[in-house]
Amino acid sequence: MAKLQININHFHRDMMDNEEYKKRQEYFASEAATLDEKIIKEKSKKIKSPKSEEEVLIEDRKSRLPSSEEIYNRIKWSCAINANIEDFSILYEDRFIGLKEVPYIEFELGAIPLHRVKSFKYQNNLIWDRTTRFINFPEELL
């Protein structure tokens, strides 16, 4: 099969005059050169420069935010020993009323899904907020 292909190519080359054959060779050579340039550009894009201090700080800020379920359980199991659980409150989004704040004790875990929880407060200080990706859980509570 390969030998047949070579013979066909020779046949087509013989059919073309020399000028047309040279033009086609130049065209394919230029296309190969542009492909090589594109490959080199793609490889150079993949090489990243070292990160500056600002980029490291931004990356640290974008670290994983604990879920509302994790915070709920942390309050339930860890903070119940060290703090008064009545000092905690939960701000959640009600489907009809909008944002609503309830004490932690009155929060109905089965009736209100945790994906609607927007923030947690301790003594009226924000300790976790989903929209701003804020977490400042007091160390004395752990």
Segment 43-71, tens digit of pLDDT: 666 566 666 666 665 665 567 889 999 99
DSSP summary character for residue 1: -
Domain ranges in the chain are 2-47, 68-141
The CA-to-CA distance between both ends of the chain, in Å, stands at 76
Name the pLDDT band for 131 (thresholds 50, 70, 90). Answer: very high
Whole-number Å distance between alpha carbons of 64 and 71: 13
Name which residue leads in pLDDT, 8 or 116.
116
Residue 63 in 3-state DSSP? coil
Work out the number of other CB atoms within 10 angstroms of the CB of residue 80: 14
Whole-number Å distance between alpha carbons of 51 and 57: 10
- Evaluate if residue 138 carries a pLDDT over 70: yes
Give the tens place of pLDDT for each residue, 16-38: 567 777 777 777 677 767 766 77
AA identity, residue 21: Y
AA identity, residue 103: P
